[in-house]
Structure 1
């Protein structure tokens, strides 16, 4: 029988893409930081009830599609359901904004995302507005895995 996981309660606080804590957390996880301050990106710092920072995440909405990006949980805090909780919060936000499918590019976290309903896709399947983002066109390497999942209507 699968193990039941209780996800933590987190508070999502909007932050600017230029926030140094975001860039530091992403750099520590070897994730890109090149276009964080560009317009059209929404980022959040996630904290627990004590106020401790549990991670960061963000998204873009190119052409009405959702692009999940810059999601990171500090290595010392992994394995406690924080990534799942952050992803769920981001998916709730993009669904509320009207997106019907979420996309992402990842070099190392494909298993994490596939366990949460994302499936690998070919680049030719990516909608043109998502493919035209800096994340897709220049920030992420061509070797990054492209993944998507439908969102609730």
Structure 2
């Protein structure tokens, strides 16, 4: 699988996919966010906000008709390899619906208080995801890909 970085002209497509999936998209056009789409017949999206060795995994979207077939897992695993190769050591995420999905990939639930200061300042962490969202972490250095 290959992930291609979106440019500004692709963001409307991402926003539409996020809206259809019920995911927040208010901040996708802000600086410091990098979004990707997967090639193939079922365009899927995923993003990162990078803060040195830490990054917040953002907005995994797989088309409804392609869910449950391993596509989301392949997208995330491809992103993990790219993140690791670019020097990211820890990936963090917030989810309200996909804790089991991310746990199967190796993410572990952690207390929100464990979030690095840079992650705590993101709109996703502060405002866009509810306090009830599960906060998860994957240590890429420990889980060498």
Q: TM-score when scaled to structure 2?
A: 0.91
Residues 12, 44 of structure 1: 8 Å contact kept: yes
SS at match of 1:61: strand
Alignment partner, residue 130 of structure 1: 119
Look up the SS of the partner of 1:79 in the other structure.
coil
Partner residue in 1 for 2:5: 14
- 1:138: how far off? 1.2
Q: Distance in 1 between matches of 2:2 and 2:52?
A: 28
Given that 1:12 and 1:47 are in contact with CA atoms closer than 8 Å, whether structure 2 keeps it comes out as yes
How many residue pairs get matched? Answer: 141
Give the CA RMSD over aligned residues. Answer: 1.4
Deviation of 1:21 (Å) = 1.2
Matched, 1:61 2:61: no
Where in structure 2 are there 5+ consecutive unaligned residues? Answer: none
1:85 to 74, 78, 96: 74
Q: Secondary structure at the match of 1:146?
A: strand
Q: What pairs with 1:3-152 in structure 2 (closer than 5 Å)?
A: 10-16=1-7, 19-48=11-40, 52-152=41-141
Instruction: Report the TM-score, using the length of structure 1 for normalisation.
Output: 0.86
Which moved further from structure 2: 31-40 or 52-61? 52-61
User: Highest CA radius of gyration, 1 or 2?
Assistant: 1
C-alpha displacement at 1:53, in angstroms?
Answer: 3.4
Could you tell me whether the CA contact under 8 Å between 2:53 and 2:90 is conserved in 1? no
